[in-house]
Amino acid sequence: MNSLKVIFDVDTWQEIFGSIAKNKTRTVITVIGVLWGIFIYITLSGAAKGLDNGFDREFEDMAMNSMFVWPQRTSVPYAGFKVGRYPRFTLANVAQLKKKIPEIQYIAPRNARGVFGGSPPASVVYKEISRTYNIYGDFPDYTKISTKKIYKGGRFINEQDQENQRKVCVIGERTQEELFDEDENPLGKYIRINNVYFQVIGVHKYLEGGGFESDGDIFIPFNTFRNLYNSGEEVDWFTIAAYDDADVVAVEKNVKDVLKKIHKVAPEDERAFGSFNIGEVFNRISGFANGMTFLSLVVGLATIFAGVIGIGNILLISVKERTKELGVRRALGATPNEVRIQILLESVFLTVIAGVVGIILGAGVLAIINLFTQDLSDFPYTNPTVPIPLVIGALTTMVLLGTLIGLIPAQRAVSIKPIDALREE
């Protein structure tokens, strides 16, 4: 009870403010050292979080543990085959990969025309309007790996479309703008793709960060694509998603190893199959962001600790300067605990003030960064923030350090004997 009485006593706080006022310049400089530490922590960790959020936004419509694998030219002779052979993926490879690699959750074979600078795009006609667009042959499972946002009323390809080889298509929003009138609903209408009529069943919204796809792409069932282009069992590339707990880098290696065995490619041939591992890229980015957060924590804590030590030094000097005053208080009946609490309160008060000001300044800088980066489309960065629990944790750490450091001058004040203090000139 006596401790609480000292804490909430008006005279105690008047003495604290009076002590601070006597050394304004010295106190402000020391407080700046403390607030600079938490300012660095808030700013750096918030900036790292903005980068992390940016890549989350870029890949929000792709499975994090996903990858693309496609065939290229062999660079090593093997099993009687010469260099430069082009292995061909087939539909049979799907079952073979899933059987050999249980970590694969989804695998979507894909065919396309008009991408990668190879085969020409599809000729598309509606009424008197004619354009060319990239066209993809897809399985419904593709949307489990890469989300397709379909405008209201429409849908993506389903299993019945695939099994019955229906002549249906999902067009892009740009395709709709270029082929149809502004107030015309394209759903249910028929367009000609390479002189074959297809019914429009959906319009997909263009999503940035969706890889090489564009806002004009047209999607049709994989089996329908086979008939349209007579591609047989051939597959241009695989889009693969591993389970969340799988090592995506190991899965990529296993996929290539299995494909090498199937297509008689030399085990040491690293050029026969190309790949792009979204999971690996995302893990690297997350690792970088986590590293930045950890660095900001280390630098911030070190700076805070240095600043708190400065506060301790100020209080030691203050105790030295107030030796006679403290002796008078002790002579008038002040207990050692009351003197100790007053010094500790001064230490904690300065630390909290520094922490709050540092947090406010850091939040202000992050708000400015967010203002200048919120409309960026060519750089993955958005919403630089620091979670509230981390801010509270940092402030709590500061208070704890301030208390511990304050114990040194507090104990020095308690150790002063009243009779010696009264003799002090």
- pLDDT of 224-236, one tens digit each? 999 999 998 999 9
Same domain? 295 vs 243: no
Strands 104-113 and 237-242: antiparallel
Please write the tens of the pLDDT for every residue from 371-407. 887 776 666 677 888 888 878 887 888 778 777 877 7
* Average pLDDT over every residue of 169-182: 94
For the chain, the domain total comes to: 2
Burial annotation 147-166 (CB, 10 A radius, 16+ → b, else e): bbebeeebebbeeebbeebb
Please write the tens of the pLDDT for every residue from 263-279. 999 999 999 999 999 88
Q: Which residues pair with 378 in a beta bridge?
A: none
Same domain? 311 vs 296: yes
Closest C-alpha among 259, 310, 267, 315 to residue 37 = 310
Other CB atoms within 10 Å distance of the CB of residue 383: 17
Q: What are phi and psi of 68, to 5 degrees?
A: -115, 140
Would you call 370 exposed, middle or buried from its count of C-beta atoms within 10 A (0-12, 13-18, 19+)?
A: middle
Same domain? 253 vs 312: no
Q: Mean pLDDT, the chain, as a whole number?
A: 83
Same domain? 220 vs 335: no
Same domain? 108 vs 17: no
Same domain? 20 vs 161: no
Please write the tens of the pLDDT for every residue from 282-335. 788 778 777 877 877 777 777 777 777 777 777 676 666 666 666 666 666 667
Given a cut of 60, is residue 123 above it in pLDDT? yes
* Residue 197 confidence class, pLDDT cut points 50, 70, 90: very high
**What pLDDT is stored for residue 198 in this prediction?**
97
- The distance of Cα 395 from the centroid of its chain, to the nearest Å, equals 24
Burial annotation 2-21 (CB, 10 A radius, 16+ → b, else e): eeeebeeeeebeebbeebbe
Order of strands across the sheet that contains 218-221:
129-133, 122-126, 190-193, 196-204, 168-172, 218-221, 135-138, 104-113, 237-242, 66-71, 273-277
Same domain? 31 vs 113: no
The whole-angstrom separation of Cα 195 and Cα 276 is 35
Same domain? 246 vs 228: yes
The whole-angstrom separation of Cα 230 and Cα 223 is 10
Domain end position, chosen among 243, 278, 313: 278
Domain end position, chosen among 278, 294, 311: 278
Same domain? 386 vs 265: no
Domain end position, chosen among 242, 262, 278: 278
The whole-angstrom separation of Cα 19 and Cα 321 is 10
**What pLDDT is stored for residue 12 in this prediction?**
65
The whole-angstrom separation of Cα 34 and Cα 301 is 9
Given a cut of 80, is residue 17 above it in pLDDT? no
**What pLDDT is stored for residue 1 in this prediction?**
45
Q: Who wins on pLDDT, 225 or 346?
A: 225
Same domain? 29 vs 75: no
Domain membership of residue 18 as a residue range: 2-59+283-423
Same domain? 40 vs 93: no
Other CB atoms within 10 Å distance of the CB of residue 76: 14
Same domain? 104 vs 252: yes
